[in-house]
A and B are shown apart, each in its own frame.
Chain A
Amino acid sequence: MALLPSEFSELERFSGWILETERERYAKRLASSMEEMQEFYDAAFPRLDAANKYLEQFPVRDLPELERNLLLLMMSLVLVSFPVEVWQQPRVPDSGAAYLDLVVEPKV
Protein backbone atom coordinates (compact mmCIF):
# COMPACT_ATOMS: atom_id res chain seq x y z
CA MET A 1 0.00 0.00 0.00
CA ALA A 2 1.45 3.29 -1.08
CA LEU A 3 1.66 5.95 1.62
CA LEU A 4 2.83 8.76 -0.65
CA PRO A 5 1.69 10.12 -4.03
CA SER A 6 3.26 8.08 -6.87
CA GLU A 7 5.37 11.08 -7.94
CA PHE A 8 7.21 10.73 -4.61
CA SER A 9 7.32 6.93 -4.39
CA GLU A 10 11.11 6.91 -3.98
CA LEU A 11 10.56 8.45 -0.53
CA GLU A 12 8.34 5.54 0.62
CA ARG A 13 11.32 3.98 2.40
CA PHE A 14 11.32 6.96 4.76
CA SER A 15 7.64 6.57 5.66
CA GLY A 16 8.68 6.10 9.31
CA TRP A 17 9.05 9.90 9.27
CA ILE A 18 5.35 10.40 8.49
CA LEU A 19 4.34 11.41 12.01
CA GLU A 20 1.28 13.24 13.31
CA THR A 21 2.77 15.51 15.95
CA GLU A 22 5.87 17.57 16.58
CA ARG A 23 6.41 15.61 19.76
CA GLU A 24 6.67 12.35 17.77
CA ARG A 25 8.88 13.95 15.16
CA TYR A 26 11.20 15.38 17.77
CA ALA A 27 11.40 12.05 19.62
CA LYS A 28 12.36 10.31 16.37
CA ARG A 29 15.02 12.93 15.71
CA LEU A 30 16.57 12.36 19.14
CA ALA A 31 16.38 8.57 18.67
CA SER A 32 18.01 8.64 15.20
CA SER A 33 21.67 8.51 14.25
CA MET A 34 23.20 11.25 12.11
CA GLU A 35 23.66 8.68 9.33
CA GLU A 36 19.93 7.92 9.31
CA MET A 37 18.97 11.58 9.26
CA GLN A 38 21.56 12.44 6.61
CA GLU A 39 20.18 9.68 4.37
CA PHE A 40 16.61 10.95 4.81
CA TYR A 41 17.71 14.54 4.23
CA ASP A 42 19.74 13.66 1.12
CA ALA A 43 16.73 11.91 -0.41
CA ALA A 44 13.97 14.30 0.67
CA PHE A 45 15.59 17.73 0.49
CA PRO A 46 16.02 17.69 -3.32
CA ARG A 47 12.27 16.93 -3.59
CA LEU A 48 11.07 19.67 -1.19
CA ASP A 49 10.50 22.26 -3.88
CA ALA A 50 8.70 19.71 -6.08
CA ALA A 51 6.52 18.66 -3.15
CA ASN A 52 5.51 22.29 -2.52
CA LYS A 53 4.60 22.74 -6.18
CA TYR A 54 2.76 19.40 -6.31
CA LEU A 55 0.74 20.17 -3.15
CA GLU A 56 -0.32 23.57 -4.49
CA GLN A 57 -3.17 21.92 -6.40
CA PHE A 58 -4.84 20.76 -3.15
CA PRO A 59 -6.49 22.83 -0.42
CA VAL A 60 -3.97 22.77 2.44
CA ARG A 61 -6.65 22.44 5.11
CA ASP A 62 -8.27 19.46 3.41
CA LEU A 63 -5.49 17.37 1.89
CA PRO A 64 -6.20 13.83 0.60
CA GLU A 65 -4.48 11.16 2.67
CA LEU A 66 -1.37 10.55 0.55
CA GLU A 67 -0.82 14.26 0.03
CA ARG A 68 -1.26 14.84 3.75
CA ASN A 69 1.39 12.19 4.40
CA LEU A 70 3.73 14.00 2.02
CA LEU A 71 3.27 17.24 3.97
CA LEU A 72 3.89 15.43 7.28
CA LEU A 73 7.03 13.84 5.80
CA MET A 74 8.30 17.26 4.73
CA MET A 75 7.60 18.60 8.23
CA SER A 76 10.01 15.93 9.49
CA LEU A 77 12.52 17.11 6.88
CA VAL A 78 12.22 20.62 8.32
CA LEU A 79 12.97 19.21 11.76
CA VAL A 80 16.02 17.15 10.73
CA SER A 81 17.42 20.08 8.74
CA PHE A 82 18.86 21.48 11.98
CA PRO A 83 20.90 18.40 12.96
CA VAL A 84 22.02 17.92 9.35
CA GLU A 85 22.67 21.49 8.22
CA VAL A 86 23.80 23.01 11.51
CA TRP A 87 24.58 20.88 14.54
CA GLN A 88 26.02 17.65 13.11
CA GLN A 89 24.33 15.98 16.08
CA PRO A 90 20.69 15.18 16.93
CA ARG A 91 20.48 17.40 20.03
CA VAL A 92 20.85 21.16 20.22
CA PRO A 93 24.35 21.65 21.70
CA ASP A 94 24.43 22.86 25.31
CA SER A 95 20.71 22.23 25.70
CA GLY A 96 21.24 19.64 28.45
CA ALA A 97 18.02 18.64 30.17
CA ALA A 98 16.13 21.66 28.86
CA TYR A 99 13.00 20.96 26.87
CA LEU A 100 10.28 22.94 25.12
CA ASP A 101 7.12 20.96 24.50
CA LEU A 102 4.86 22.01 21.66
CA VAL A 103 1.50 21.85 23.45
CA VAL A 104 -0.58 23.51 20.73
CA GLU A 105 0.17 23.02 17.02
CA PRO A 106 -1.84 23.83 13.92
CA LYS A 107 -3.80 20.91 12.53
CA VAL A 108 -2.63 19.39 9.26
Chain B
Amino acid sequence: MPPHFPKPAEGSWTEHWPELGTGPVDYSDSTDPEYYKLEQEAIFARTWLHVGRVEQIPRKGNYFTKELAARNTSLVIVRGADNEIRAFHNICRHRGNKLVWNDFPGEETKGTCRQFTCKYHAWRYSLEGDLTFVQQEHEFFGVDKSKYGLKSVRCEIWEGFIFVNLDPSAPPLADYLGEYGKTLAGYPFGEMTEVFTYKAEINANWKLFIDAFAEFYHAPILHAKQAVKGESDKLVKVGYEALHYDLKYPHAMISSWGGMSPPKDLNMVKPIERVLRAGLFGPWERPAISGLDELPPGINPSRHPKWGIDSFHFFPNFMLLFWAPGWYLTYDYWPTGPHSHIFETSLYFVPAKTAAERLAHELAAVTFKEYGLQDANTLEATQRMLNSHVVSEFPLCDQELLLRALHNASRTYVKEYADGTAAE
Protein backbone atom coordinates (compact mmCIF):
# COMPACT_ATOMS: atom_id res chain seq x y z
CA MET B 1 0.00 0.00 0.00
CA PRO B 2 1.52 3.39 -0.93
CA PRO B 3 2.05 5.77 2.00
CA HIS B 4 -0.51 8.53 2.57
CA PHE B 5 2.30 10.96 3.27
CA PRO B 6 5.66 10.98 1.41
CA LYS B 7 8.58 9.11 2.97
CA PRO B 8 12.31 9.76 2.34
CA ALA B 9 13.97 8.48 -0.84
CA GLU B 10 15.33 5.45 1.02
CA GLY B 11 11.75 4.15 1.12
CA SER B 12 11.24 4.48 4.86
CA TRP B 13 11.89 6.96 7.63
CA THR B 14 13.98 4.46 9.57
CA GLU B 15 16.36 3.73 6.68
CA HIS B 16 17.00 7.46 6.35
CA TRP B 17 19.07 7.04 9.53
CA PRO B 18 21.01 3.87 8.66
CA GLU B 19 22.91 3.85 11.97
CA LEU B 20 19.66 2.76 13.63
CA GLY B 21 19.26 -0.38 11.51
CA THR B 22 15.92 -2.03 10.91
CA GLY B 23 16.40 -5.18 12.99
CA PRO B 24 14.58 -6.12 16.19
CA VAL B 25 15.40 -4.00 19.24
CA ASP B 26 16.78 -5.51 22.44
CA TYR B 27 14.62 -4.44 25.38
CA SER B 28 16.92 -5.76 28.10
CA ASP B 29 17.72 -2.05 28.53
CA SER B 30 14.30 -1.80 30.19
CA THR B 31 14.55 -4.82 32.48
CA ASP B 32 18.17 -5.25 33.60
CA PRO B 33 18.92 -3.62 37.01
CA GLU B 34 22.66 -3.47 36.15
CA TYR B 35 21.89 -1.57 32.96
CA TYR B 36 19.74 0.86 34.94
CA LYS B 37 22.70 1.55 37.25
CA LEU B 38 24.79 2.43 34.20
CA GLU B 39 22.05 4.69 32.84
CA GLN B 40 22.02 6.62 36.10
CA GLU B 41 25.72 7.42 35.73
CA ALA B 42 25.91 7.68 31.96
CA ILE B 43 22.70 9.64 31.35
CA PHE B 44 21.09 11.20 34.41
CA ALA B 45 24.40 12.37 35.89
CA ARG B 46 25.43 14.26 32.76
CA THR B 47 22.52 15.39 30.59
CA TRP B 48 20.31 18.46 30.89
CA LEU B 49 17.11 17.60 32.76
CA HIS B 50 13.94 19.67 32.55
CA VAL B 51 12.63 20.41 36.06
CA GLY B 52 10.01 23.14 35.60
CA ARG B 53 8.93 26.49 34.20
CA VAL B 54 9.89 30.00 35.27
CA GLU B 55 6.20 30.80 35.92
CA GLN B 56 6.29 28.36 38.87
CA ILE B 57 8.61 30.73 40.72
CA PRO B 58 7.68 34.21 39.48
CA ARG B 59 8.78 36.18 42.57
CA LYS B 60 11.94 36.51 44.65
CA GLY B 61 12.07 33.76 47.27
CA ASN B 62 9.72 31.42 45.37
CA TYR B 63 11.12 27.90 45.31
CA PHE B 64 10.25 24.28 44.57
CA THR B 65 12.05 21.03 45.25
CA LYS B 66 12.71 18.26 42.75
CA GLU B 67 13.42 14.67 43.75
CA LEU B 68 16.02 13.03 41.49
CA ALA B 69 15.76 9.39 42.50
CA ALA B 70 17.98 8.41 39.56
CA ARG B 71 20.82 10.33 41.25
CA ASN B 72 19.61 9.65 44.77
CA THR B 73 19.34 13.35 45.50
CA SER B 74 16.89 16.20 45.89
CA LEU B 75 17.30 19.68 44.45
CA VAL B 76 15.87 23.02 45.45
CA ILE B 77 15.24 25.49 42.64
CA VAL B 78 14.84 29.08 43.82
CA ARG B 79 14.53 32.62 42.50
CA GLY B 80 17.09 34.76 44.32
CA ALA B 81 16.88 38.34 45.57
CA ASP B 82 18.71 39.27 42.37
CA ASN B 83 15.92 37.55 40.33
CA GLU B 84 18.32 34.82 39.12
CA ILE B 85 17.01 31.25 39.18
CA ARG B 86 19.48 28.83 40.81
CA ALA B 87 19.52 25.16 41.72
CA PHE B 88 21.14 23.60 44.78
CA HIS B 89 21.42 20.16 46.25
CA ASN B 90 18.78 20.13 48.98
CA ILE B 91 21.21 19.25 51.76
CA CYS B 92 22.30 21.17 54.86
CA ARG B 93 26.07 21.48 55.12
CA HIS B 94 26.02 20.90 58.87
CA ARG B 95 25.06 17.24 59.14
CA GLY B 96 23.37 16.43 55.88
CA ASN B 97 19.74 16.92 56.77
CA LYS B 98 17.37 17.58 53.91
CA LEU B 99 17.08 21.35 53.95
CA VAL B 100 13.63 21.98 52.46
CA TRP B 101 10.76 19.54 53.00
CA ASN B 102 7.30 19.36 54.56
CA ASP B 103 5.85 16.53 56.63
CA PHE B 104 7.19 13.77 54.37
CA PRO B 105 10.95 13.78 53.66
CA GLY B 106 10.54 11.99 50.32
CA GLU B 107 7.91 14.29 48.86
CA GLU B 108 8.39 17.40 46.77
CA THR B 109 7.29 20.76 48.09
CA LYS B 110 7.11 24.42 47.03
CA GLY B 111 6.74 27.77 48.70
CA THR B 112 8.21 31.17 49.39
CA CYS B 113 10.84 32.23 51.90
CA ARG B 114 13.38 34.96 52.64
CA GLN B 115 16.05 32.41 53.48
CA PHE B 116 16.35 28.66 54.00
CA THR B 117 16.50 27.47 57.60
CA CYS B 118 17.35 23.86 58.38
CA LYS B 119 14.74 22.17 60.58
CA TYR B 120 17.43 20.37 62.54
CA HIS B 121 19.81 22.99 64.02
CA ALA B 122 18.61 26.18 62.32
CA TRP B 123 21.60 26.76 60.05
CA ARG B 124 20.49 29.42 57.59
CA TYR B 125 21.25 30.00 53.92
CA SER B 126 20.47 32.95 51.69
CA LEU B 127 18.37 32.49 48.53
CA GLU B 128 21.68 32.64 46.67
CA GLY B 129 23.00 29.65 48.63
CA ASP B 130 25.38 31.39 51.06
CA LEU B 131 25.59 30.10 54.63
CA THR B 132 24.50 33.12 56.68
CA PHE B 133 23.94 31.79 60.20
CA VAL B 134 25.35 29.01 62.36
CA GLN B 135 23.58 28.26 65.62
CA GLN B 136 26.07 28.63 68.54
CA GLU B 137 28.81 29.37 66.08
CA HIS B 138 31.34 29.80 68.93
CA GLU B 139 31.01 26.07 69.75
CA PHE B 140 32.47 25.12 66.36
CA PHE B 141 36.12 24.84 65.51
CA GLY B 142 36.76 27.62 63.08
CA VAL B 143 34.06 26.91 60.55
CA ASP B 144 34.57 29.34 57.66
CA LYS B 145 31.00 30.15 56.60
CA SER B 146 32.14 31.15 53.11
CA LYS B 147 33.18 27.53 52.53
CA TYR B 148 29.88 26.01 53.63
CA GLY B 149 27.40 27.41 51.17
CA LEU B 150 24.81 25.14 49.53
CA LYS B 151 26.19 22.80 46.87
CA SER B 152 25.13 24.40 43.62
CA VAL B 153 23.94 22.60 40.50
CA ARG B 154 24.13 23.85 36.91
CA CYS B 155 20.85 25.56 36.09
CA GLU B 156 20.02 27.16 32.74
CA ILE B 157 16.83 28.36 31.09
CA TRP B 158 15.56 27.87 27.57
CA GLU B 159 12.35 29.70 26.56
CA GLY B 160 11.18 29.70 30.19
CA PHE B 161 11.91 25.99 30.76
CA ILE B 162 14.26 25.41 33.70
CA PHE B 163 16.90 22.71 33.17
CA VAL B 164 19.54 21.37 35.55
CA ASN B 165 22.69 19.35 34.90
CA LEU B 166 24.63 17.53 37.61
CA ASP B 167 27.78 17.53 35.48
CA PRO B 168 29.79 20.73 36.10
CA SER B 169 31.68 20.24 32.82
CA ALA B 170 28.63 19.62 30.59
CA PRO B 171 28.34 21.87 27.52
CA PRO B 172 25.80 24.70 27.83
CA LEU B 173 22.07 23.93 27.60
CA ALA B 174 21.70 25.77 24.28
CA ASP B 175 24.36 23.50 22.73
CA TYR B 176 22.68 20.41 24.16
CA LEU B 177 19.24 21.30 22.81
CA GLY B 178 20.85 21.96 19.44
CA GLU B 179 18.81 22.78 16.37
CA TYR B 180 15.41 22.17 17.99
CA GLY B 181 16.28 24.67 20.71
CA LYS B 182 16.76 27.27 17.97
CA THR B 183 13.88 26.38 15.67
CA LEU B 184 11.27 26.23 18.45
CA ALA B 185 12.32 29.52 20.03
CA GLY B 186 9.72 32.24 19.90
CA TYR B 187 6.67 30.06 20.50
CA PRO B 188 4.42 32.02 22.92
CA PHE B 189 5.07 29.69 25.89
CA GLY B 190 4.92 32.64 28.28
CA GLU B 191 1.29 33.38 27.36
CA MET B 192 0.13 29.87 28.25
CA THR B 193 -0.06 30.03 32.01
CA GLU B 194 -3.26 28.12 32.80
CA VAL B 195 -1.75 24.82 33.87
CA PHE B 196 -3.07 21.35 34.68
CA THR B 197 -0.38 19.01 36.09
CA TYR B 198 -0.90 15.28 36.51
CA LYS B 199 1.42 12.96 38.38
CA ALA B 200 1.56 9.19 38.80
CA GLU B 201 3.89 6.43 39.84
CA ILE B 202 4.17 3.95 37.01
CA ASN B 203 5.38 0.39 37.41
CA ALA B 204 7.42 0.41 34.24
CA ASN B 205 10.87 1.48 33.09
CA TRP B 206 10.98 5.18 32.19
CA LYS B 207 11.71 4.42 28.53
CA LEU B 208 8.56 2.34 28.14
CA PHE B 209 6.29 5.33 28.76
CA ILE B 210 8.29 7.46 26.35
CA ASP B 211 7.81 4.60 23.87
CA ALA B 212 4.05 4.84 24.41
CA PHE B 213 3.92 8.57 23.76
CA ALA B 214 6.51 8.60 20.97
CA GLU B 215 4.30 6.72 18.52
CA PHE B 216 0.65 7.05 17.51
CA TYR B 217 0.56 3.62 15.88
CA HIS B 218 -1.24 2.40 19.04
CA ALA B 219 -3.86 5.13 19.12
CA PRO B 220 -6.57 3.64 16.84
CA ILE B 221 -6.32 0.33 18.76
CA LEU B 222 -5.73 1.01 22.45
CA HIS B 223 -8.03 4.03 22.49
CA ALA B 224 -10.61 2.64 20.05
CA LYS B 225 -13.50 2.95 22.46
CA GLN B 226 -12.89 6.65 22.96
CA ALA B 227 -13.95 7.53 19.43
CA VAL B 228 -17.50 7.26 18.15
CA LYS B 229 -18.00 3.68 16.87
CA GLY B 230 -18.07 4.18 13.07
CA GLU B 231 -15.16 6.58 13.30
CA SER B 232 -13.14 4.15 15.37
CA ASP B 233 -13.59 1.35 12.79
CA LYS B 234 -12.38 3.68 10.04
CA LEU B 235 -9.30 4.64 12.08
CA VAL B 236 -8.35 0.99 12.59
CA LYS B 237 -8.73 0.24 8.89
CA VAL B 238 -6.64 3.19 7.75
CA GLY B 239 -4.03 2.70 10.48
CA TYR B 240 -1.63 5.42 11.39
CA GLU B 241 1.05 7.28 9.45
CA ALA B 242 2.87 10.38 10.61
CA LEU B 243 3.39 13.41 8.38
CA HIS B 244 7.07 13.71 9.11
CA TYR B 245 9.90 12.50 11.36
CA ASP B 246 13.20 14.07 12.24
CA LEU B 247 16.17 12.98 14.36
CA LYS B 248 18.83 15.29 15.74
CA TYR B 249 20.72 12.89 17.97
CA PRO B 250 20.05 12.42 20.83
CA HIS B 251 16.74 14.25 20.33
CA ALA B 252 13.93 13.41 17.91
CA MET B 253 10.51 14.54 16.75
CA ILE B 254 7.34 13.23 15.12
CA SER B 255 4.94 15.49 13.27
CA SER B 256 1.37 14.31 12.91
CA TRP B 257 -1.91 15.10 11.24
CA GLY B 258 -5.03 14.93 13.28
CA GLY B 259 -7.02 16.92 15.66
CA MET B 260 -10.68 17.39 15.09
CA SER B 261 -10.69 21.10 15.52
CA PRO B 262 -13.36 21.48 14.45
CA PRO B 263 -14.30 18.04 13.09
CA LYS B 264 -15.50 17.75 9.49
CA ASP B 265 -18.66 16.07 10.72
CA LEU B 266 -20.05 16.81 14.18
CA ASN B 267 -21.36 13.24 14.43
CA MET B 268 -17.74 12.10 14.67
CA VAL B 269 -17.43 13.46 18.18
CA LYS B 270 -19.14 13.02 21.53
CA PRO B 271 -22.11 15.18 22.53
CA ILE B 272 -20.22 17.16 25.17
CA GLU B 273 -17.47 17.94 22.66
CA ARG B 274 -20.09 19.41 20.31
CA VAL B 275 -21.33 21.77 23.02
CA LEU B 276 -17.94 22.76 24.45
CA ARG B 277 -16.17 22.73 21.08
CA ALA B 278 -13.14 20.92 22.50
CA GLY B 279 -11.71 17.43 22.90
CA LEU B 280 -8.43 15.58 23.27
CA PHE B 281 -6.80 17.96 20.84
CA GLY B 282 -7.89 20.93 22.91
CA PRO B 283 -10.34 23.71 22.16
CA TRP B 284 -11.37 23.85 18.50
CA GLU B 285 -10.77 27.60 18.38
CA ARG B 286 -7.30 29.06 18.75
CA PRO B 287 -6.84 31.62 21.51
CA ALA B 288 -6.58 35.20 20.29
CA ILE B 289 -2.90 35.85 20.92
CA SER B 290 -0.12 36.76 18.55
CA GLY B 291 2.58 34.23 17.76
CA LEU B 292 0.28 31.38 16.70
CA ASP B 293 -0.43 32.36 13.11
CA GLU B 294 3.20 32.21 12.09
CA LEU B 295 4.67 29.28 14.03
CA PRO B 296 8.43 28.91 14.57
CA PRO B 297 10.09 26.92 11.74
CA GLY B 298 10.66 23.86 13.95
CA ILE B 299 6.91 23.27 14.32
CA ASN B 300 5.11 21.43 11.51
CA PRO B 301 8.40 21.19 9.61
CA SER B 302 6.73 19.74 6.50
CA ARG B 303 4.29 22.71 6.58
CA HIS B 304 1.47 20.29 5.92
CA PRO B 305 -2.03 21.82 5.90
CA LYS B 306 -3.41 18.81 7.81
CA TRP B 307 -0.89 19.26 10.63
CA GLY B 308 -2.30 18.65 14.11
CA ILE B 309 0.45 17.94 16.61
CA ASP B 310 4.23 17.77 16.96
CA SER B 311 5.96 15.74 19.68
CA PHE B 312 9.57 16.59 20.45
CA HIS B 313 11.58 14.19 22.56
CA PHE B 314 14.49 15.85 24.29
CA PHE B 315 16.77 13.10 25.52
CA PRO B 316 16.62 11.70 28.04
CA ASN B 317 13.27 12.24 29.72
CA PHE B 318 11.46 15.35 28.49
CA MET B 319 8.81 15.64 25.79
CA LEU B 320 7.27 18.82 24.45
CA LEU B 321 4.07 18.67 22.38
CA PHE B 322 2.57 21.45 20.29
CA TRP B 323 -1.09 21.23 19.31
CA ALA B 324 -2.52 23.02 16.30
CA PRO B 325 -5.30 24.71 18.32
CA GLY B 326 -2.71 26.75 20.21
CA TRP B 327 -1.64 25.07 23.42
CA TYR B 328 1.25 22.89 24.55
CA LEU B 329 1.93 19.94 26.79
CA THR B 330 4.97 18.51 28.56
CA TYR B 331 5.85 15.01 29.72
CA ASP B 332 8.59 14.23 32.23
CA TYR B 333 9.61 10.71 33.19
CA TRP B 334 11.66 10.40 36.40
CA PRO B 335 13.15 6.95 36.96
CA THR B 336 12.83 5.58 40.49
CA GLY B 337 14.15 2.10 39.71
CA PRO B 338 14.72 -0.26 36.78
CA HIS B 339 10.99 -1.03 36.60
CA SER B 340 9.38 2.12 37.94
CA HIS B 341 9.24 5.84 37.38
CA ILE B 342 7.27 8.93 38.26
CA PHE B 343 5.36 10.36 35.34
CA GLU B 344 4.43 14.03 35.24
CA THR B 345 2.50 15.81 32.56
CA SER B 346 1.33 19.39 32.28
CA LEU B 347 -1.16 20.98 29.90
CA TYR B 348 -0.62 24.71 29.24
CA PHE B 349 -3.38 26.96 27.92
CA VAL B 350 -3.80 30.67 27.38
CA PRO B 351 -5.89 31.59 30.47
CA ALA B 352 -9.63 31.25 29.88
CA LYS B 353 -11.51 34.52 29.50
CA THR B 354 -14.97 32.97 29.78
CA ALA B 355 -16.56 30.06 31.63
CA ALA B 356 -17.05 28.35 28.27
CA GLU B 357 -13.31 28.53 27.58
CA ARG B 358 -12.57 27.23 31.07
CA LEU B 359 -14.88 24.25 30.48
CA ALA B 360 -13.27 23.60 27.09
CA HIS B 361 -9.88 23.40 28.85
CA GLU B 362 -11.42 21.17 31.52
CA LEU B 363 -12.71 18.80 28.84
CA ALA B 364 -9.27 18.62 27.20
CA ALA B 365 -7.65 17.87 30.59
CA VAL B 366 -10.27 15.29 31.58
CA THR B 367 -9.97 13.60 28.18
CA PHE B 368 -6.20 13.50 28.51
CA LYS B 369 -6.57 11.68 31.82
CA GLU B 370 -8.95 9.08 30.35
CA TYR B 371 -6.39 8.27 27.66
CA GLY B 372 -3.44 8.49 30.03
CA LEU B 373 -4.94 5.95 32.42
CA GLN B 374 -5.23 3.44 29.60
CA ASP B 375 -1.65 4.07 28.54
CA ALA B 376 -0.29 3.88 32.08
CA ASN B 377 -1.92 0.57 32.89
CA THR B 378 -0.83 -0.99 29.62
CA LEU B 379 2.77 -0.18 30.52
CA GLU B 380 2.60 -2.24 33.65
CA ALA B 381 1.37 -5.14 31.53
CA THR B 382 4.32 -4.64 29.19
CA GLN B 383 6.90 -4.43 31.98
CA ARG B 384 5.57 -7.59 33.61
CA MET B 385 6.10 -9.66 30.50
CA LEU B 386 9.43 -8.07 29.54
CA ASN B 387 10.60 -9.17 32.99
CA SER B 388 9.79 -12.77 32.04
CA HIS B 389 12.69 -12.63 29.52
CA VAL B 390 10.76 -15.12 27.40
CA VAL B 391 11.38 -12.73 24.51
CA SER B 392 13.84 -9.85 24.62
CA GLU B 393 14.05 -8.64 21.02
CA PHE B 394 11.13 -6.92 19.36
CA PRO B 395 10.46 -5.75 15.80
CA LEU B 396 9.70 -2.05 15.53
CA CYS B 397 7.92 -0.61 12.51
CA ASP B 398 8.67 2.59 10.62
CA GLN B 399 6.06 4.47 12.68
CA GLU B 400 8.01 3.49 15.81
CA LEU B 401 11.17 5.30 14.70
CA LEU B 402 11.40 7.45 17.82
CA LEU B 403 11.45 4.32 20.02
CA ARG B 404 14.36 2.95 18.02
CA ALA B 405 16.10 6.31 18.36
CA LEU B 406 15.51 6.49 22.13
CA HIS B 407 16.81 3.01 22.90
CA ASN B 408 19.75 3.63 20.57
CA ALA B 409 20.59 6.90 22.36
CA SER B 410 20.40 5.23 25.77
CA ARG B 411 22.70 2.41 24.65
CA THR B 412 25.12 4.83 23.01
CA TYR B 413 25.38 6.96 26.16
CA VAL B 414 25.87 3.87 28.29
CA LYS B 415 28.50 2.47 25.92
CA GLU B 416 30.41 5.76 25.68
CA TYR B 417 30.36 6.04 29.45
CA ALA B 418 31.54 2.46 29.92
CA ASP B 419 34.30 2.91 27.31
CA GLY B 420 35.37 6.18 28.94
CA THR B 421 35.46 4.62 32.39
CA ALA B 422 37.42 1.65 31.07
CA ALA B 423 39.93 4.00 29.44
CA GLU B 424 40.55 5.91 32.68
> A residues bordering B, Cβ < 8 Å?
22, 45, 48-49, 51-52, 55-56, 58, 60-61, 63, 71, 74-75, 77-79, 81-82, 85-87, 92-106, 108
Between A82, A87, A92, A98, the greatest number of chain B beta carbons within 10 A of the residue's beta carbon is seen for: A98
Asked if B199 lies at the interface with its beta carbon under 8 angstroms from chain A, I say yes
In the bound assembly, the distance between CA atoms of A76 and B198 in angstroms comes to: 18
The residues in B between 376 and 422 inclusive whose CB is less than 8 angstroms from any CB of A are 376-378, 380
Is B196's CB under 8 angstroms from A49's CB? no
Query: Which of A49, A61, A77, A95 has a CB less than 8 Å from the CB of B374?
Result: A95
B357 within 8 A of A: yes
Tell me the complex Cα distance, A18–B395, Å.
Answer: 49
Tell me which of B225, B272, B353, B365 contacts A48 (CB under 8 A).
B272
Q: What is the CA–CA distance of A80 and B356 in the complex, to the nearest angstrom? A: 17
B275 touches A (CB below 8 Å): yes
Q: CB distance B373 to A95 under 8 Å? A: yes
Q: Is A52 a contact of B356 with CB atoms below 8 Å?
A: yes
Interface string of B318-360 (1 = CB under 8 A from A): 0000000000000000000000000101100001111111110
Contact of B199 among A48, A92, A100 (CB under 8 A): A100
Interface centre among B351, B352, B357, B358 (most CB of A within 10 A): B358
B340 to chain A, nearest CB (A): 13
Q: Which residue of B lies closest to A55 (CB)?
A: B355
Contact status B196-A105, CB under 8 Å:
yes
Besides the contacts A98-B202, A105-B196, A106-B361, what 15 more A-B pairs have beta carbons closer than 8 Å?
A22-B365, A56-B355, A60-B355, A86-B370, A87-B225, A92-B370, A92-B374, A95-B374, A95-B376, A96-B377, A98-B200, A100-B369, A100-B376, A103-B197, A104-B346
Whether A102 lies near B353 (C-beta < 8 A) is: no
Binding site for A on B (CB under 8 A): 194-200, 202, 225-226, 270-272, 275-276, 343, 345-346, 351-359, 361-363, 365-367, 369-370, 372-374, 376-378, 380
Q: Is the CB of A71 within 8 A of B200?
A: no
> Is the pair B359, A104 in contact by a Cβ cutoff of 8 Å?
no
The one of B197, B226, B356, B365 that contacts A56, using a Cβ cutoff of 8 Å:
B356
* Cα–Cα, bound, A87→B369 (Å): 14
Question: Among the interface residues A49, A78, A81, which one has the most CB atoms of the partner chain B within 10 A?
Answer: A78
B270 and A85 contacting across the interface, CB-CB below 8 Å:
yes
Q: How far is the CB of A22 from chain B (nearest CB, A)?
A: 8
Contact yes or no, B374 A94, CB < 8 A: yes
- List, in ascending order, chain A residues with CB within 8 A of B345's CB: 100
Pick from A45, A52, A105: contact of B359, CB below 8 A. A52
Closest-by-CB residue of B relative to A26 is B369
A-B residue pairs in contact (CB < 8 Å), sample of 24 = A55-B355, A60-B355, A60-B357, A74-B355, A78-B272, A78-B359, A78-B366, A81-B366, A82-B366, A82-B367, A82-B370, A86-B226, A86-B370, A92-B370, A93-B374, A96-B380, A97-B377, A98-B200, A98-B376, A99-B200, A99-B376, A100-B198, A100-B345, A100-B372
The answer to whether B197 and A102 touch across the interface, beta carbons within 8 angstroms, is yes
Chain A to chain B: the 7 pairs with minimum beta-carbon distance, closest first: A55-B355, A104-B197, A98-B377, A52-B356, A95-B373, A81-B272, A98-B376
Residue from the list A78, A98, A99, A104 in contact with B195, Cβ < 8 A: A104
Q: CB-CB < 8 A to A49: which residues of B?
A: 275
B201 closest partner in A (C-beta): A99
Contact A60 B354 (CB under 8 A): yes
Q: How far is the CB of B223 from chain A (nearest CB, A)?
A: 10
**Beta-carbon nearest neighbor of B270 in chain A:** A85
CB-based contact A55/B356 at 8 Å = yes
Contact between chains at B373 and A99 (CB < 8 Å): yes
Contacts of A94 in B (CB 8 A): 374, 377-378
Pairwise interchain contact A92-B355, C-beta atoms closer than 8 A: no
Chain B contacts of A104 at CB under 8 A?
195-197, 346
Q: How distant is B155 from chain A, measured CB to nearest CB, in Å?
A: 21
Which of A52, A78, A105, A106 has a CB less than 8 Å from the CB of B354?
A: A52
B373 contacts which chain A residues (CB < 8 A)? Answer: 92, 95, 98-100
